[in-house]
């Protein structure tokens, strides 16, 4: 019976021990111990069985007695024996490792392409027919393509490993009434864990005792400030971000002390749940990959069908031998297959990666470069992404005056402003007294490191230090002049902090700061124009609400008037009779560059949406400041829970601000937008963002403040954590897509022309084909490596960020694209075939005629390069010739290759070529140059047609 209770949890472990990989002698011994121990203690197993029934319990609803009873624990902690038994039952407090692709699999995956299969089969049959040279060249081309793809592939998916690294490596734990330090992996439900400032929370913990405990939970909830923790139960419907009696695995203790009981470990924790979300999210294919895959399938079927028909036609109607016709079909297939296209696409993407890196956008997966060009929605986290993640005092309210504060973050460059004019603070000014209170009733430290300011302690207190510097108070001098002698530390139970100070003349001062509703209850007086008056609490509550409605965190400050000669500070000293000094409104301000970036996105037809774990009022205020389209319409996580998927899909594109969301909400929102046909980019920096980052078409993580989990789940990392860098990345993404289209429009007519030349020869019954398979491969690869590669370096087209995002389902080969390919292919075919026939009429050798044909094709490509640099605009301008600094050098290099191809004996033997004379070169140049003028006439007709159509 006891073994049966454990069997469900240990079944997986037993399978591992007996698996072919896991059945080592050590693991067999462990298995025996496991089975024997399962019969060890009926009482222990009974407690574990009880735990199994409560694994999904809403722990935040239990009081201390209920919690300890449910977890079968006590104030002295678990016994070591009980902890070991639970460890065997629940498993270590860690997350499962993700499988990665091996070296061999990565190599073989480069050959998984229909066009490559066709080439491999053609090469194999060519090898069987003893055409060694043709087969070797075909295999070499395939190998080169595979090598390029392998080298360009990014490092393997590692999001789960990054999340595991966040978990605390060591933990303090009470067992057998003794405090121990052990590896956090060995924690189990029921363990008693103390927490103090600087600790990383090692598991999900229900707090049973707190003293000024604050925990930074931004990586999990998106909350911009540390959360004040309590030890009292909360209602069951309390959302994750507001469960103040819980401490979650991976979060950081910033202040105070606490103690709690472990309720979840490993994959059962909130961090573990997110890791399972990441593992279960399927990364979507990019629009380019989907289009190229579909294009490859259609092209392959068309090529095979054409080769089969031409083979049958040649054997049955033109009396070719099977061997001759097979080599002709191979030549036709090789001619039609754009071998260099995968390499050019890859290189174009890689060049985009390099350009983006120069603009602080680091691309982790190549296809994401092009996907950026299709993005129609950017879902952005607020804290640290659109905002600085640095608390800043923005407004000051005293009984006499209201001031605004300029400057952002912890940099003290800024001033106090009254109706736009600089306000000078003087000693005994009520504002000076307010600033001094915030400076002295404060435990934070502010320091400057090189060109950046850093803090130690609470961000809100650091903001008060920054404010004092803006008001020309020197924290060091003030603290030295009026040292602290006693304090009442902040605690969530009483919601304030109080400090006692004495100057060197023996005068005493008491300053208090805290939640405005608490401080107002403790205050009786206020000073107006130097006169002490009774406090109008109703008016002050209205001021608090006005600040809060603007998204500010409100802090109230007061002082004790009648101090006497006391040297100690007690609660009863400050609970009433205080003098209110004023209010401060704090906010995590938006980045200045974010405002411009949002505006640019909107001009480019891209909708920006804020998805945050912060409060609705705060999110709405920031949304209004950065210029989102509908900042006042906010959907909360609770409202999202009440919506079904159909309703959400109807509203998701109209709402721009989402507050108090969980990782599941973010994932659901991204999916809903994708269901509406949007290409979605998701930005974020926390562990809570990882599932949505992976699901999005382009996940964008912050490089400086982002967690490794967010970075590994994303396709792009912003090196400067600047939302504006996304705009630069989108511009590069659109440019990359334009350049890929240019490359396709350049390469495919070459293949089309070659295929038509071969097909024409078969239809006309030629026994000497104008091109051999090896010569076709030479033209395809040499023009791709030189000329087509030039197009990858083309700069952005004019107005690239003023046009709307292209639809994700837009075909890369539209109707007029096919027309252009067919038109240019026909020009190449007629010119090449005509000069081949001309060379044959001179009683020259077939090798001579083929050399003329090959050089004609290459020269056509040289002239057509300048047409292709502008898809619709004219090429008769200065930019066409000099706008790309690689164009003319590439032409020169290609001419050198062709001279070597034509005149070097080793190349003549390899490719079956022969020298040609000056007359042939002259005819080649005249014939090939015609394409430049013919295509420009076609562009002119196209522009005229489109203008008339718009009219």
Q: Write out the catalytic residue numbers.
A: 381
What would the two tokens of residue 773 be?
């398979």
CA distance 339 to 73: 68
Rg, Å, the chain Cα set:
36
Q: Which residues pair with 397 in a beta bridge?
A: 402, 583
In which residue are the tokens 């103090």 written?
196
CA distance 496 to 477: 25
Residues 6 or more apart in contact with residue 355 via CB below 8 angstroms = 732
Nearest 5°: phi and psi at 197? Answer: -55, 135
Q: Are 475 and 405 in contact (CB under 8 A)?
A: no
Which candidate, 358, 47, 371, places its Cα nearest to that of 188? 47
First to last CA, the chain: 85
The dihedral of CA 124, 125, 130, 132: what is its sign? negative
Which candidate, 196, 237, 200, places its Cα nearest to that of 220? 200
Which candidate, 366, 370, 368, places its Cα nearest to that of 346? 366
CA distances from 771 to 328, 775, 829 (A): 9, 6, 12
Nearest 5°: phi and psi at 657? Answer: -130, 125
Which candidate, 315, 281, 316, 327, places its Cα nearest to that of 131? 327
Q: Are 669 and 692 in contact (CB under 8 A)?
A: yes
CA distances from 911 to 350, 780, 902 (A): 32, 14, 9
Looking at the chain, the number of H-run helices and the number of E-run strands are 37, 28
CA distance 560 to 850: 101
Angle at CA of residue 631, ends 626 and 634, nearest 5°: 135
Q: In terms of C-beta density within 10 A (0-12 exposed, 13-18 middle, 19 or more buried), how is residue 16 classed?
A: middle
Beta pairing class for 523-528 and 508-514: unpaired
CA distance 661 to 635: 9
At 410 the three-state DSSP class reads: coil
Q: Which residues pair with 582 in a beta bridge?
A: 557
Per-position DSSP letters for 883-909, written without gaps between them: SSTTHHHHHHHHHHHHHHHHH-HHHHH
CA distances from 109 to 120, 142, 366, 680 (A): 14, 13, 16, 27
At 397 the three-state DSSP class reads: strand
Q: Are 236 and 703 in contact (CB under 8 A)?
A: no
At 558 the three-state DSSP class reads: strand
CA distance 482 to 507: 9
Angle at CA of residue 18, ends 14 and 19, nearest 5°: 110
SS (H, E, C) 155-194: CCCCHHHHHHHHCCCEEEEEECCEEEEEEHHHCCCCCEEE
In which residue are the tokens 């994303």 written?
714
Task: For helices 25-37 and 2-18, give the axis angle rounded to 10 degrees.
Answer: 170
812 HSE (CA, 13 A, CB side): 24
CA distance 542 to 111: 70
Q: Which residues pair with 179 in a beta bridge?
A: 174
């Amino acid at each position: 019976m006891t073994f049966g209770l454990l069997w469900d949890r240990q079944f997986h472990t037993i399978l591992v021990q007996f698996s072919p990989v896991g059945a080592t002698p050590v693991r067999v011994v462990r298995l025996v111990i496991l089975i024997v121990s399962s019969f060890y203690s009926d009482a222990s197993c009974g407690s574990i069985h009880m735990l199994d029934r409560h694994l999904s319990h809403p722990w935040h609803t239990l009081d201390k007695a209920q919690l300890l009873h449910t977890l079968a624990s006590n104030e002295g902690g678990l016994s070591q024996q009980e902890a070991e038994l639970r460890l065997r039952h629940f498993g270590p407090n860690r997350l499962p490792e993700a499988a990665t692709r091996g070296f061999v699999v990565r190599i073989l995956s480069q050959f998984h392409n229909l066009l490559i299969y066709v080439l491999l089969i053609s090469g194999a049959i060519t090898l069987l027919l003893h055409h060694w040279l043709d087969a070797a060249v075909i295999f070499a081309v395939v190998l080169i393509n595979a090598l390029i793809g392998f080298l360009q592939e990014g490092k393997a998916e590692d999001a789960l490993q990054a999340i595991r690294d966040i978990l605390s490596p060591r933990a303090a734990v009470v067992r057998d009434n003794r405090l121990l330090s052990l590896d956090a992996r060995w924690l189990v439900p029921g363990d008693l864990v103390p927490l103090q400032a600087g600790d990383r929370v090692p598991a999900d913990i229900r707090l049973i005792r707190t003293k000024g405990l604050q925990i930074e939970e931004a990586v999990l909830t998106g909350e911009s400030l540390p959360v004040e923790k309590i030890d009292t139960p909360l209602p069951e419907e309390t959302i994750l971000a507001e469960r103040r009696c819980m401490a979650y695995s991976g979060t950081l203790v910033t202040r105070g002390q606490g103690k709690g009981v472990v309720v979840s470990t490993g994959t059962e924790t909130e961090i573990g749940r997110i890791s399972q979300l990441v593992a279960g999210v399927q990364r979507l294919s990019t629009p380019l990959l989907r289009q190229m895959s579909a294009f490859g399938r259609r092209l392959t079927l068309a090529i095979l069908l054409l080769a089969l028909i031409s083979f049958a036609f040649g054997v049955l109607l033109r009396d070719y031998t099977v061997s001759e016709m097979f080599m002709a079909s191979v030549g036709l297939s090789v001619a039609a297959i754009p071998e260099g296209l995968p390499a050019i696409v890859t290189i174009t993407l890689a060049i985009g990666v390099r350009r983006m890196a120069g603009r602080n956008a680091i691309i982790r997966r190549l296809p994401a470069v092009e996907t950026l060009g299709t993005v129609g929605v950017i879902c952005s986290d607020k804290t640290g992404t659109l905002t600085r993640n640095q608390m800043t005092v923005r407004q000051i309210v005293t009984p006499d005056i209201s001031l605004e504060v300029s400057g952002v973050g912890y940099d003290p460059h800024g001033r106090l402003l009254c109706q736009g004019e600089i306000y000078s603070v003087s000693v005994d000014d009520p504002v000076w007294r307010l600033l001094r209170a915030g400076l002295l009733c404060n435990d934070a430290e502010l320091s400057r490191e090189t060109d950046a300011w850093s803090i130690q302690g609470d961000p809100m207190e650091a903001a008060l230090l920054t404010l004092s510097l803006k008001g020309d108070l020197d924290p060091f001098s003030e603290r030295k002049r009026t040292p602290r002698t006693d304090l009442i530390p902040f605690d969530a139970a009483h919601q304030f902090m109080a400090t006692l100070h004495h100057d060197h003349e023996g005068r005493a001062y008491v300053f208090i700061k805290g939640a405005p509703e608490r401080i107002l209850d403790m205050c009786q007086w206020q000073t107006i124009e130097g006169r002490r008056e009774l406090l109008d609490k109703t008016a002050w509550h209205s001021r608090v609400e006005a600040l809060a409605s603007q998204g500010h965190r409100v802090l109230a400050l007061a002082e004790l008037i009648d101090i006497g000669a006391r040297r100690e500070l007690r609660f009863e000293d400050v609970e009433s009779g205080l003098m209110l000094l004023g209010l401060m409104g704090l906010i995590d301000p938006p980045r200045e560059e974010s405002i411009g970036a949002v505006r640019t996105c909107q001009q480019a037809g891209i909708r920006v949406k804020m998805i945050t774990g912060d409060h609705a009022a705060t999110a709405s205020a920031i949304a209004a400041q950065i210029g989102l389209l509908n900042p006042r319409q906010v959907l909360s996580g609770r409202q999202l829970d009440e919506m079904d998927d159909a309703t959400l899909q109807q509203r998701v594109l109209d709402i721009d601000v989402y507050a108090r969301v969980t990782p599941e909400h973010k994932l659901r929102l991204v999916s809903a937008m994708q269901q509406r046909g949007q290409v979605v980019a998701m930005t974020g920096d926390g562990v809570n963002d990882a599932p949505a980052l992976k699901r999005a078409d382009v996940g964008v993580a912050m490089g400086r403040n982002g967690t490794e989990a967010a970075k590994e789940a994303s396709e792009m990392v912003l090196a400067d954590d600047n939302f504006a860098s996304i705009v630069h990345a989108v511009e590069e993404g659109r440019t990359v897509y334009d350049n890929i289209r240019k490359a396709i429009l350049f390469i495919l007519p070459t293949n089309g022309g070659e295929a038509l030349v071969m097909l024409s020869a078969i239809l006309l019954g030629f026994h000497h084909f104008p091109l051999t398979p090896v010569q076709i491969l030479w033209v395809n690869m040499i023009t791709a490596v030189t000329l087509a590669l030039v197009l990858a370096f083309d700069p952005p087209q004019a107005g690239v960020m003023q046009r709307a995002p292209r639809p994700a389902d837009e075909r890369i080969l539209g109707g007029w694209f096919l027309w252009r390919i067919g038109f240019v292919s026909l020009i190449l075919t007629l010119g090449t075939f005509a000069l081949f026939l001309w060379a044959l009429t001179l009683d020259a050798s077939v090798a001579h005629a083929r050399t003329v044909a090959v050089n004609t094709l290459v020269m056509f490509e040289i002239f057509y390069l300048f047409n292709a640099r502008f898809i619709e605009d004219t090429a008769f301008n200065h930019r066409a010739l000099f706008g790309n600094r690689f164009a003319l050098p590439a032409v020169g290099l290609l001419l050198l290759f062709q001279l070597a191809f034509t005149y070097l004996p080793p190349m003549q033997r390899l490719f079956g070529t022969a020298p040609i004379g000056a007359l042939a070169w002259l005819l080649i140049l005249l014939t090939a140059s015609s394409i430049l003028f013919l295509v420009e006439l076609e562009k002119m007709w196209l522009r005229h047609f489109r203008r008339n159509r718009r009219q």
